[in-house]
Chains A and B, each alone.
Chain A
């Protein structure tokens, strides 16, 4: 079992009298902070108590209580359990001071909370919508917001076949399309304010040299259709010749409001949806979600299942890192050869996923308190052939072929540097954080599942440049192989499921935050249950999304060619970033 998010023995209420009160609702933990004093409280948390890593910021709409709640999860990068604090706001006028001065990593998450829940963060430097488009009406995660094709609040719907007759959702929608916008709004004549604001912010960058010569800059839109943004990411870049003067990320092109979908599904319904977040790593996505639900409901996980989960997680990590190295080399301009070498290994790992889960990419393998199918001895044999023989050999081969390559070294060393202070500040997580010299790995720092049983090292590199971000992937592959080898040796016989796999039609009311060390960084799931079979609030703390908060500071001053590899080195997947 995991160590629950606890508050240790800290009595914050005594430390901040009148500002902080303990959250005493049934199933809840943490502290409730007064909105006015939030910034001072957070600064004190960071500076005096050492909670320097802001993991997650999100909001919950408690419609029956007419309240909006902002939930913060903070951790220490030295390890140990975290701390939850909340701010409760009136639903009418939800305003809370922004935490970006204290934790710059809150930037995108606050924008997301504004976008989806309409919580206004005063003092935020650039509070624009981030996932939805600028002309969008309303805030979709509010419980009283109904979309154009609205049928019912929760699945399974009964309206699909009322009295045996079906009707088309689009017939019920006044707009005849799956969009809605304010009245008196004409999309044809719409000038996107957001774009104006975006370009307006960039236009400030104009330089005049000492002779009074004015230099114009070129604004280049990299993406949303661009070969090296790994999807539909868009970066608006101002260039002075080939040098990047400023960069603003624009995302949301793949947004499907995963969280709203999750709130409608029953708990088990939602498992396959998590596959689609980071579609390279469906196993770890499943794990994080299963962890959060198990925490919420207190379901125990059998021994053998924990081992299977660890094996699948580490295989996922290995294939993810292989692909990352291959695609990074592709971004460097090596014409697909490293990428295809990496894909060869990945295919072998996907063979195993297919054997256990029936699907190669969208595995949908984890269940609450178990996994879908047992791992047969034949499959285990295949895994051990990979873990003991082929993959270590291939990791060495990649090392031998790439690490010393002059072009790779000269293009990656010193490019996109991020100091360890900045990495923590911007809530960077995963390999990119560790490449900046912060040995913070949730598997060690706040162990979940059975990671405390294995003997492995936290890979860490100290320069924080793209070369180190490349090297750390190789290191992590090797560490994952160590875990894998131990897990294969130790895996016991036994049941793979506690009780029966059910829909969980009833859950205890309360909240839970399950987080794991996904290949791309800290993947967290925040769940709020009101006792029914559907989550009241379901939030994903996506590493891809939060890790690019630091992107701007990493690329400004570099060349346009560097942007591509810095972005590639952070390792993002748009399915997860845009959700």
Chain B
């Protein structure tokens, strides 16, 4: 028989995750604007509510009441479908994330994850690969050349970077000996993977920036070239959905990064107080998001062809090498004692420096050839 209480628990947990993402999206925009403003010697939104805290509400009201335009000769069905297709994967991604171990709520043992499935990492890959559809279809259906170019760019970009993303997942799976996210977190009880896989973590962070189209990889919407790229023609709530998807993806991808490399819900006293798990996750996520905003405020955009070069010619070989290094390191540790696991970070840092050196050399050559 289906346990009704279990169904109820699922529904409640799903709702909590959805509302967390919605609220997170709203206040991430506020957070980003305030931080950007501080970095740019401005003040940022501070009028609506205390410290501008009601600004997201004001924005939402504005967007709801804006006119929704559908361009002439656009493919109407797909045009409307595209923003929805963008938001859904961004939300669904969050269901496999563990936010803590188990807490006792209302006399029930409650797992702090919506669905802790045994192929969690693969699930992330699958949903991430679906996420590109919204952008592609938006670009195609808008009947606008800038939008089309934005859509094409994003397709190529996301497919290219998915390879490196998948392989950096492999690194973690190798280290944790599991595809299940809760087990990956538990495997970091002794040591966070960011220490054991420093280069892998950096690659992962770079690739995720590209996957969520954040600066300096915001090709699909590159304002200076493509007006607004794939969402040039969108307005009102449909635009808001794209906006929401982008920020939700930022949040979710930060949570994933935290889970895979930064010890997830682990932290001091987590054994005694399991409810600290979500708090730790939140703190780490905010730190990562701050990093993303910081990067946006600092770096110019990479040119599109260079971005593809980076993905295919630099990151992919590097992360393939890292997989080899990790696998060898684990084998060595199994055979000759656990301390050999430290060969992984040492060798991979060397590989990282080698890569940077090679890139630097090739750039130097290119510039010297110009003179």
Chain A residues close to B by CB (< 8 Å): 218, 220, 226-228, 242, 329-337, 340-341, 344, 405-411, 413-414, 463, 465, 559-564
Contact A405 B300 (CB under 8 A): yes
Contact B225 A228 (CB under 8 A): yes
What residues of chain A lie closer than 8 Å to B227, measured between beta carbons? Answer: 226-227
Sample of 9 more A-B contacts, CB < 8 Å, known A228-B224, A334-B300: A220-B145, A220-B149, A333-B300, A337-B36, A408-B300, A465-B370, A559-B303, A559-B305, A562-B303
In the bound complex, CA of A430 to CA of B39 (Å):
33
What residues of chain A lie closer than 8 Å to B302, measured between beta carbons? Answer: 407, 410-411
Check: B11 CB closer than 8 A to any chain A CB: no
What residues of chain A lie closer than 8 Å to B41, measured between beta carbons? Answer: 340-341, 344
Shortest distance from the beta carbon of A472 to any chain B beta carbon, whole Å: 17
Check: B189 CB closer than 8 A to any chain A CB: no
Check: B367 CB closer than 8 A to any chain A CB: yes
Going nearest first, the 10 A-B pairs with the smallest beta carbon separation are A333-B301, A332-B300, A228-B224, A334-B300, A340-B40, A414-B370, A407-B300, A333-B300, A564-B224, A337-B40
What residues of chain A lie closer than 8 Å to B300, measured between beta carbons? Answer: 329, 332-334, 405, 407-408, 411
What residues of chain A lie closer than 8 Å to B222, measured between beta carbons? Answer: 333, 561
Contact A340 B216 (CB under 8 A): no
In the bound complex, CA of A572 to CA of B371 (Å):
27
Instruction: Count A-B pairs with CB separation below 8 Å.
Output: 91
What residues of chain B lie closer than 8 Å to A408, measured between beta carbons? Answer: 300
What residues of chain B lie closer than 8 Å to A228, measured between beta carbons? Answer: 223-225
Shortest distance from the beta carbon of A410 to any chain B beta carbon, whole Å: 6
Given A331-B224, A561-B225, check contact A413 B301 (CB 8 Å).
Answer: no
Contact A463 B363 (CB under 8 A): no
Check: B47 CB closer than 8 A to any chain A CB: no
Given A242-B305, A334-B300, A559-B305, check contact A227 B40 (CB 8 Å).
Answer: no
Of B215, B223, B303, which is in contact with the most chain A CB atoms at under 10 Å from its CB? B303
Given A220-B145, A331-B224, A333-B224, check contact A561 B42 (CB 8 Å).
Answer: no
Contact B363 A242 (CB under 8 A): no
What residues of chain B lie closer than 8 Å to A334, measured between beta carbons? Answer: 298-301
Check: B296 CB closer than 8 A to any chain A CB: yes
What residues of chain B lie closer than 8 Å to A329, measured between beta carbons? Answer: 300
What residues of chain B lie closer than 8 Å to A406, measured between beta carbons? Answer: 363
Query: Can you list 30 A-B pairs with a CB-CB distance of less than 8 A?
Result: A218-B149, A220-B145, A227-B224, A329-B300, A330-B224, A332-B224, A332-B301, A333-B215, A333-B223, A333-B224, A334-B300, A336-B40, A337-B39, A337-B40, A340-B41, A340-B42, A406-B363, A407-B216, A407-B301, A407-B302, A411-B302, A413-B367, A465-B370, A559-B305, A560-B149, A560-B225, A561-B222, A561-B224, A563-B225, A564-B225
What residues of chain A lie closer than 8 Å to B363, measured between beta carbons? Answer: 406, 410
- Chain B 354-367 interface mask (CB, 8 Å, partner A; 1/0): 00000000010011
Check: B314 CB closer than 8 A to any chain A CB: no
Contact A341 B224 (CB under 8 A): no
Of A218, A335, A560, A561, which is in contact with the most chain B CB atoms at under 10 Å from its CB? A335
What residues of chain A lie closer than 8 Å to B40, measured between beta carbons? Answer: 336-337, 340-341
B170-216 at interface with A (beta carbon < 8 Å): 215-216
Contact A411 B303 (CB under 8 A): yes
Check: B304 CB closer than 8 A to any chain A CB: yes
Contact A333 B216 (CB under 8 A): yes
Shortest distance from the beta carbon of A563 to any chain B beta carbon, whole Å: 8
In the bound complex, CA of A154 to CA of B302 (Å):
54
What residues of chain A lie closer than 8 Å to B149, measured between beta carbons? Answer: 218, 220, 242, 560
Check: B297 CB closer than 8 A to any chain A CB: yes
Shortest distance from the beta carbon of B352 to any chain A beta carbon, whole Å: 16
In the bound complex, CA of A344 to CA of B39 (Å):
13
Shortest distance from the beta carbon of A148 to any chain B beta carbon, whole Å: 33
Closest to B367 in A: A413
In the bound complex, CA of A414 to CA of B306 (Å):
14
In the bound complex, CA of A212 to CA of B267 (Å):
64
- Chain B 272-309 interface mask (CB, 8 Å, partner A; 1/0): 00000000000000000000000011111111111000
What residues of chain B lie closer than 8 Å to A563, measured between beta carbons? Answer: 225
Question: Which of A405, A465, A561 lies in contact with B303, CB distance below 8 A?
Answer: A561
Shortest distance from the beta carbon of B39 to any chain A beta carbon, whole Å: 6
Closest to A344 in B: B41
Contact B298 A410 (CB under 8 A): no
B223-250 at interface with A (beta carbon < 8 Å): 223-225, 227
In the bound complex, CA of A242 to CA of B150 (Å):
11
Contact A561 B304 (CB under 8 A): yes
In the bound complex, CA of A228 to CA of B298 (Å):
19
Closest to B37 in A: A340
- Chain B 40-52 interface mask (CB, 8 Å, partner A; 1/0): 1110000000000
Shortest distance from the beta carbon of A208 to any chain B beta carbon, whole Å: 22
B10-56 at interface with A (beta carbon < 8 Å): 36, 39-42
Of A337, A409, A465, which is in contact with the most chain B CB atoms at under 10 Å from its CB? A337
Check: B218 CB closer than 8 A to any chain A CB: yes
Closest to B306 in A: A410
In the bound complex, CA of A228 to CA of B301 (Å):
14
Question: Which of B145, B296, B367, B371 lies in contact with A335, CB distance below 8 A?
Answer: B296
Contact A413 B303 (CB under 8 A): no
In the bound complex, CA of A174 to CA of B60 (Å):
49
Check: B146 CB closer than 8 A to any chain A CB: yes
What residues of chain A lie closer than 8 Å to B225, measured between beta carbons? Answer: 228, 560-561, 563-564
In the bound complex, CA of A235 to CA of B40 (Å):
31
Of A329, A334, A562, which is in contact with the most chain B CB atoms at under 10 Å from its CB? A334
In the bound complex, CA of A225 to CA of B297 (Å):
25
Shortest distance from the beta carbon of B144 to any chain A beta carbon, whole Å: 10
Shortest distance from the beta carbon of B345 to any chain A beta carbon, whole Å: 25
What residues of chain B lie closer than 8 Å to A226, measured between beta carbons? Answer: 227
Question: Which of A218, A333, A413, A559 lies in contact with B145, CB distance below 8 A?
Answer: A218
Question: Which of A337, A405, A560 lies in contact with B297, CB distance below 8 A?
Answer: A337
Contact A463 B370 (CB under 8 A): yes
In the bound complex, CA of A228 to CA of B225 (Å):
7
In the bound complex, CA of A559 to CA of B153 (Å):
13
Shortest distance from the beta carbon of A409 to any chain B beta carbon, whole Å: 8
Shortest distance from the beta carbon of A243 to any chain B beta carbon, whole Å: 9
Shortest distance from the beta carbon of A256 to any chain B beta carbon, whole Å: 26
In the bound complex, CA of A331 to CA of B363 (Å):
22
- Chain B 121-157 interface mask (CB, 8 Å, partner A; 1/0): 0000000000000000000000001100100000000
Of A218, A220, A561, A564, which is in contact with the most chain B CB atoms at under 10 Å from its CB? A561
In the bound complex, CA of A335 to CA of B42 (Å):
13
In the bound complex, CA of A337 to CA of B37 (Å):
9
Shortest distance from the beta carbon of A405 to any chain B beta carbon, whole Å: 7
In the bound complex, CA of A227 to CA of B221 (Å):
12
Shortest distance from the beta carbon of A197 to any chain B beta carbon, whole Å: 21
In the bound complex, CA of A335 to CA of B297 (Å):
6
Closest to B360 in A: A406
What residues of chain B lie closer than 8 Å to A332, measured between beta carbons? Answer: 224, 300-301
Contact A407 B299 (CB under 8 A): yes
In the bound complex, CA of A336 to CA of B300 (Å):
10
Closest to B222 in A: A333
Shortest distance from the beta carbon of B318 to any chain A beta carbon, whole Å: 17
In the bound complex, CA of A12 to CA of B298 (Å):
59
What residues of chain A lie closer than 8 Å to B304, measured between beta carbons? Answer: 242, 559, 561
Given A333-B224, A340-B40, check contact A414 B301 (CB 8 Å).
Answer: no
What residues of chain B lie closer than 8 Å to A333, measured between beta carbons? Answer: 215-216, 218, 222-224, 300-301
What residues of chain B lie closer than 8 Å to A560, measured between beta carbons? Answer: 149, 225
Closest to B215 in A: A335
Contact A337 B298 (CB under 8 A): yes
In the bound complex, CA of A414 to CA of B222 (Å):
22
Shortest distance from the beta carbon of A417 to any chain B beta carbon, whole Å: 8
What residues of chain B lie closer than 8 Å to A335, measured between beta carbons? Answer: 36, 215, 296-297
In the bound complex, CA of A343 to CA of B92 (Å):
43
What residues of chain B lie closer than 8 Å to A411, measured between beta carbons? Answer: 300, 302-303, 306
In the bound complex, CA of A4 to CA of B302 (Å):
49
What residues of chain A lie closer than 8 Å to B303, measured between beta carbons? Answer: 410-411, 559, 561-562
